[in-house]
Chain A
């Protein structure tokens, strides 16, 4: 297996595993938000602000991983 192939597999793993965690996290949080909004509709707006904040935090590690994977895909610093 060449280096290029290994880099491609590595990028796929980084993005895929990160997406797995991020999506499960957002799904759980979104479900709880909708449940809470269904129980107490008057809190919906306040909770929505906090929900977006949390969505950004949950996605953080995933997007850092995407950034690193893209860097390896196009500007591999370990090459040569």
Chain B
């Protein structure tokens, strides 16, 4: 917050909460700047990745032939759900693709769920350690979601080459969707490039848009509480509650959509034109 004696104005509060903890120390000036790293995104995404790995691994350890306890039962139902979707969509070797889908679902769900934690909590704790800016939700950062989306793109290209062979993949790059005539090669190539690009960008930006908008509405609701009146705080609580309950649905839905689309895009690698 402001180091001086006056409280921040509404827009100062929001701009402060929208600034990342990055390697340049201040808010990013240019829209695209590859020299800056957002350390808060890196930290929280690695933290939730470790949590995901630990949770799933613990459930795997506890699996036994008898009746499962509730935790193992819950994880088992999630795994079964993802496996069913993967089997329906991907007509190929599921050995790595189904775990990829499961990991992306659970990891993205946990990253999104950080949004439900009160907006000021982690930044205040950070202030105690001298960290002045923090954005806790990694998927509300376009860098985070585009990274996930690029991994899906890389997977679909990898499985495309694996399923069709390097030569087959290149052949399809130049002859689908219109035909094998050599005059159509540039057109086909352009269409394929645009298709891959559009799929990747839309996958990343969909998740980012949902989480960014959700976080921003939480910030705006927090401004109601900043009035420190009985009606302001009451409204803060009520609208915050309503939005948080709605956001639980959005979080799960967006993680599910990301997983399904990842399965669909990787599954398309096994389809022959």
Q: Report which A residues bind B (CB closer than 8 A).
A: 52-53, 55-57, 59-60, 63-68, 70-71, 74-75, 77
Contact = CB atoms under 8 A, between A and B. Distances in A.
Given A57-B257, A75-B18, 20 more contacts: A52-B253, A52-B256, A53-B260, A56-B206, A60-B206, A64-B205, A64-B209, A65-B209, A66-B209, A66-B213, A67-B205, A67-B208, A67-B212, A67-B213, A70-B216, A71-B212, A74-B11, A74-B14, A74-B18, A75-B15
B8 to A, nearest CB: 13
Nearest to A80: B29
| Complex A-B, nearest 8 residue pairs according to Cβ-Cβ distance, in ascending order | A63-B209, A56-B257, A67-B209, A64-B209, A60-B206, A67-B212, A66-B213, A70-B216
Chain B contact surface mostly: helix
Contacts, number: 49
Chain A contact surface mostly: helix
Contacts of A71: 212
A71 B15 CA distance: 10
A52 B18 CA distance: 30
Contacts of B212: 67, 70-71
Nearest to B30: A77
Given A53-B256, A53-B260, A60 B18 contact: no
Contacts of A63: 206, 209-210, 213
A55 B253 CA distance: 9
Given A74-B15, A74-B18, A53 B257 contact: yes
A57 B254 CA distance: 9
A77 B14 CA distance: 15
Contacts of A56: 206, 253-254, 256-257
